[in-house]
Structure 1
Amino acid sequence: MTAPLPLPLPESFALQVRGYDREQVDERIDELLAEIRLLTADRDAAVTEAEHLARQLERARAGHAELSARVDRLCRTPADPAAVGDRVRHLLELAHAEADGIVATARERAAAIVREAEEDADRRTAEARARAHRIVDDARRRADRLAAIERRTADRLRRIDAFLAGAAALLDEQTPLRAVA
């Protein structure tokens, strides 16, 4: 890093008969040149360090991309317990056992739902059949009543027709009344 400039800097040099004190000016220039060399070295070191860190960052990014791709690939395919360490194998076995338990519970729930649905469907089918039988029986009774009414009505109509035919025959046999003048 850079060393701080010595403070305070002289604001002016001592005057001699013919200008500044040459020795004092040379010392100050030597100090400033040394400070410039130090600052230049610090700057060069910082640039080198920045380049080194930039290379490390690029390697880290490439590694991250590779690891992300590997994680994605591992997540897409189930892990083979034989290909991993003991601890991971144990965790995978536990996960498989838990998954098997979840699947078994889901199958039991599905079977219960199917049973309930079948029982409900059977009950509703039985109720619908009973209702259909009642409707058919009611319809048959109505049809029988209507048929009986129709038979009685037909019988009455035949009797009325016979009566009317008899009345018409009687009227035809009688002599017409003459008009009274």
Structure 2
Amino acid sequence: MLPLPLSFPLTLRGYDRTLVDEYLDELHAEIRILTIDRDAALHQAETLADLLEQVRAERAALQARFDTVCRTPADPNAVSARVHRILDLASAEAAEILDTARRQADAVNAQADRARNRILAEARSIAERQLGQAQDRIRQLEEIRARTITQLQAADRALAGAERILANEQSPPARPQAPARPSAPSRARTAA
């Protein structure tokens, strides 16, 4: 803001025209300067806006290039010694991580093998015990079968002997000539 005079000196017919004209000339000069400054600021703002757009475009291009470079492995011959050292350290760290993972996997596999072997041993022990029990039961059943067969054969022999004895007791002593058999009613009479 321009400082305005508090008042103009008064003359016979109003204010002093020369002072008012001088002041107005100063105001116009100030307005021209401010307009020039404003136009320069607008031009600079437009230039900066264009520059900002260029920087943004360059940044996007660099980001895309960076992403591409990060995704593709670096050629060791095309990098500086420092980058080559960083790549070597990264490779060594990756190898160490892989070794650690392999060791952990081997430990897990060994633990799984031990558990599998323990379970197999327990299963074999149970199977052998059950097989032994089954074989003992088979031997018992075979002994029972053999005794039963022996007893049945003895019973058959006893029955055969008893049938012979019964047959001998029921048959009349041998006669020279056997009379004709009486019919059933005559047998009933004889028995009565």
Indicate the TM-score class for this superposition, using the shorter chain for normalisation. 0.7 to 0.9
Aligned length: 159
- After superposition, the C-alpha distances for 1:8-57 in whole angstroms (9 at most, x for unaligned) are x1244333222221111101101100110111111011111111111111
Question: For 1:146 and 1:56, how far apart are their aligned partners in 2?
Answer: 104
Deviations 1:131-166 (A, max 9, x none): 11111211232344355556667888969xx7xx99
- Could you tell me which runs of 5 or more consecutive residues in structure 1 were left unpaired when the two chains were aligned: 174-181
> Which of residues 31, 44, 61 in structure 1 aligns to 2:56?
61
Give the TM-score taking structure 1 as reference length.
0.73
**Is 2:53 aligned against 1:51?**
no
In 1: Cα distance, 2:140 partner to 2:40 partner: 116
Partner of 1:108: 103
**Offset at 1:91?**
0.8
Larger radius of gyration: 2
Counterpart of 2:27? 32
Matches within 5 A, 1:7-156: 7=3, 9-146=4-141, 148=143
Per the normalisation by structure 2, the TM-score is 0.70
Change (3 A) 1:16 1:129: same
Moved over 4 A (4+): 146-159
Q: Deviation per CA, 1:55-94: give whole Å up to 9, x if none.
A: 1111111111011111211221121221111111111111
Distance 1:80 1:123 in 2: 51
Q: Any unmatched runs of 5+ in structure 2?
A: 171-192
Equivalent position SS for 1:10: coil
* Local SS of the residue matching 2:73: coil
What's 1:178 paired with?
Answer: none
Would you say the 8 A contact 1:81–1:93 is kept in 2? no
